[in-house]
Structure 1
Amino acid sequence: MSQDHEPEATRRESGETESSSANRAWWDRNADDYQREHGDFLGDHRFVWGPEGLDEADAGLLGPVAELRERRVLEIGAGAAQCSRWLAEQGARPVALDLSHRQLQHARRIGDQAGTVGTGSGGGAGAVALVEGDAGALPFAAGSFDLACSAYGALPFVADPVRVLREVRRVLRPHGRLVFSVTHPVRWAFPDEPGPEGLTLTASYFDRTPYVEQDESGRAVYVEHHRTMGDRVRDVVTAGFRLMDLVEPEWPAWNRQEWGGWSPLRGALIPGTAIFVCERD
């Protein structure tokens, strides 16, 4: 793709292979800008579930903080591993997995500065192990983890979310908990704009056609997949989880930032994030 060519935004089908390849390359290209733009909000060791700023330290969706100690936790789509670093500070034993090599380089940079980075799937107290891998084919043995989490990681970008959820279930121990956040499905019916123009419904909520950015040859360079709220619930159940809670964070008065289509204006009127709290049998 030529440097002066802007990707074309369209809605079209995009399968597993194309979606994975496009999104790995997109995050590798854009990781620097992403961390530069959002790093202050995310912090180096803060666990936030989305642009609203709901903090796991307050929400306790993974369970009481005191009970995280010594728990093996898998973070999926970890980016620069800010959430895993917070978990390590609570005494957990996190593994941060991401598809993007460049995102994990940022995780290593921040971890090296804090002295909390490890390699492979091990790591001692306070360490964060970094693993490059695909959420649809997790490189871990069955029953390796007590908990799994994903804050806008992997699931919005995959063509087959049930495959990912089944993989997560496989690596969780019995009664293990999975908590993941995604763009609230209702947002797909509105333009991705933070201002008043983002308050006018322009598309069918029921249109599951993926959002694709493609180059001049028609090759996808970024893909997001839409699921309705009912689809997400069915995906969770089909993969063998029980849905324990569904959280739709309200926009707090202290948060004045805009993040893409998320903003105080829109956040006061429609939900922007959906968080699914699940448990395997």
Structure 2
Amino acid sequence: MPSDTGPRFDPATLSAHAASNRAMWESYSDEYQAKHGGDLAASGGFAWGTTQIPESELRVLDDVAGRDILEFGCGAAQWSIALAQRGARPVGLDLSERQLQHARRLMAEAGVDFPLVHASAEAVPLPDASFDVVFCDHGAMTFADPYRTVPEAARLLRPGGLFAFNHHSPIETICWPLDANEVSDRLALDYFGMHVFDDGEEVFFNLPYGEWIRLFRANGFVVEDLIEPQVKADTTSSYRSAVSLAWARRWPAEEIWRLRKP
């Protein structure tokens, strides 16, 4: 595959929330990479979440060599670069052209080449059963509608394929007021009916645990694991304040779903 693949991107086809998030990421990508690129480089791109827990410790993806892998919302493709260096055949998909420009730069620096797709994870311009793994570390499973992305993941996976993604836990979501800079130790948002959240800067998504499980089952997935990492005492993060890190030592701030397509 060439470095860029899929039909020409048409912004007019985007949902309203996708268009809003695309605009946000186009303007924020440079600042994001300047702020967090050091953390991602230090981990070698092969680590999960806002505290960069090594994949070698969590073992979410298993052996990646020789596997066709789609990164669902790849940003600057630090994860996909690490996968290519380990013998995988990754494809990076992102809604932000500016993020993909950063991905091309980092790919050139790393001396690897793989396809990048400029598209929404809600409507991926790639054939059915193209991948052994579809995965996401925040990315599309935070900023796109799961009622659209989960069916897309199921469509894109081959039988026996793995769907794995990390996102903010529902517990953290309902403890973080939309107008606040810090997470709270009190419930702040409704749990029942949670789906779409708009804090005025970005639109993001989450569901109650039961609804996640029903959505997975409706699309043919079997839940293999739900990993809830606990932040260690000496953990630092460019993503999280001291308050947020302290919170994540007591409650799950992020979680990783591991799902199988039979």
Q: Is the shorter-chain TM-score for this pair beyond 0.5, marking a shared fold?
A: yes
The residue identity in structure 1 corresponding to 2:221 is F
Query: Are 1:175 and 2:160 matched, yes or no?
Result: yes
SS in 1 for 2:236: coil
Give distance in 2, aligned partners of 1:232 and 1:55. 25
Q: TM-score, normalised by structure 2?
A: 0.86
- Which residue number corresponds to residue 264 of structure 1? 245
Of 87, 91, 98, 1:95 maps to 91
Displacement of 1:164 after TM fit?
Answer: 1.3
Structure 2 letter corresponding to 1:87: L
- Give deviations 1:109-160, integer Å, cap 9, x for gaps: 11111221xxxxxxxxxx332111111111111111111110001122223x
Q: 1:228 offset after TM fit, Å?
A: 1.3
Counterpart for residue 71 of structure 1: 67
Equivalent residue, structure 2, for 1:246? 226
**In 2, Cα distance between the equivalents of 1:20 and 1:88?**
28
The one-letter amino acid of 1:274's match is E
* Secondary structure at the counterpart of residue 150 of structure 1: strand
Q: CA RMSD for the aligned pairs?
A: 2.0
The amino acid across from 1:211 in the alignment is F
Match of 1:18 in 2: 16
Q: Percent identity?
A: 33
Q: Is the 8 A contact 2:50 2:240 kept in 1?
A: no
Compare relative contact order (CA 8 Å, sep 6+) and give the higher one, 1 or 2. 1
- Counterpart in the other structure of 1:198: 184
1:37 to 24, 35, 38: 35
Partner of 2:6: none
In the superposition, the TM-score normalised over structure 1's length comes to: 0.81
Measured after TM superposition, the shift of residue 107 of structure 1 is: 0.5
Q: What is residue 143 of structure 1 aligned with on the other side?
A: 129
Aligned partner letter, 1:191: W
Q: Hey, what's the Cα distance between the residues in 1 that align with 2:195 and 2:84?
A: 38
Asked if the contact 1:165–1:236 (Cα under 8 Å) also holds between the matched residues in 2, the reply is: yes
Q: Where does the alignment leave 5 or more consecutive residues of structure 2 unmatched? A: 1-13
Equivalent position SS for 2:167: strand
User: Counterpart amino acid of 1:237?
Assistant: R
Alignment of 1:84-123 (within 5 A): 84-116=80-112
Q: Which residue of 1 aligns with 2:8?
A: none
Bigger Cα Rg: 1
Check conservation: 1:98, 1:131, Cα contact below 8 A: yes
Counterpart of 1:134 in 2: which secondary structure?
coil
Structure 1 regions of 5+ residues with no counterpart? 1-15, 117-126, 215-220
The offset of 1:58, in angstroms, is: 2.2
SS at match of 2:223: strand
- Give the CA deviation at 1:95: 0.4
**1:209-230 deviations in whole A, cap 9, x for unaligned?**
632244xxxxxx5211231122
Superposed displacement of residue 181, structure 1: 0.9
Give 1:89 shift: 1.1
1:41-60 alignment runs, 5 A limit: 41-43=39-41, 45-60=44-59
